[in-house]
Amino acid sequence: MVKPLISRWLNLMGDFLFPGNCPVCGDAPFADPGSYACRECMDRIAWIRGNGCRICGLPMWGMGFGGLTCRACREDPPVFQSGRCLFHLDETGKKVIHEIKYHGVRPVLRDLPNWLERTPGTLEFLEGCDLVPVPLHRKRLRARGFNQSVWIARALSEAAGGKPRVREALRRTSDTPTQTSLDRKTRKANVKDAFALCSRRPIHELSPIVLVDDVYTTGATLDSCARVLVEGGCRVVKFLALGRG
Query: What's the confidence (pLDDT) of residue 1?
Result: 46
Q: What is the pTM of this model?
A: 0.87
The total of structural domains in the chain comes to: 1
Mean pLDDT of 12-36: 78
Give the chain's mean pLDDT: 88
Please indicate whether residue 205 or residue 89 has the higher confidence score (pLDDT): 89
Give the range of the structural domain holding residue 224, as residue numbers without chain letter: 2-244
Query: What's the confidence (pLDDT) of residue 192?
Result: 83
Q: Say which range, 60-69, 103-112, 114-123, 201-210, has the weakest mean pLDDT.
A: 60-69
Mean pLDDT of 55-72: 82
Q: What whole-number percentage of the chain has pLDDT above 70?
A: 83
* pLDDT score of 21 more than 70: yes
What CATH number did the domain enclosing 235 receive? 3.40.50
Please indicate whether residue 17 or residue 149 has the higher confidence score (pLDDT): 149
Confidence of residue 15 (pLDDT cuts 50, 70, 90): very low
Instruction: Give the DSSP letter string of the chain.
Output: -HHHHHHHHHHHHHHHH-----TTT-PPTTSBTTBSS-HHHHTTS-B--S-B-TTT--B--S--SS----HHHHHS--SS-EEEEEEE-SHHHHHHHHHHHTT--GGGGGGHHHHHHHSTTHHHHHTT-EEEEPPPPHHHHHHHSS-HHHHHHHHHHHHTTT-SPB---EEE-S-PPPSTT--HHHHHHHTTT-EEE-TTSPPPTT--EEEEEEEESSSHHHHHHHHHHHHTT-S-EEEEEEEE-
Query: What's the confidence (pLDDT) of residue 201?
Result: 61
Query: What's the confidence (pLDDT) of residue 4?
Result: 47
Mean pLDDT of 49-58: 92
Mean pLDDT of 35-57: 95
Please indicate whether residue 95 or residue 206 has the higher confidence score (pLDDT): 95
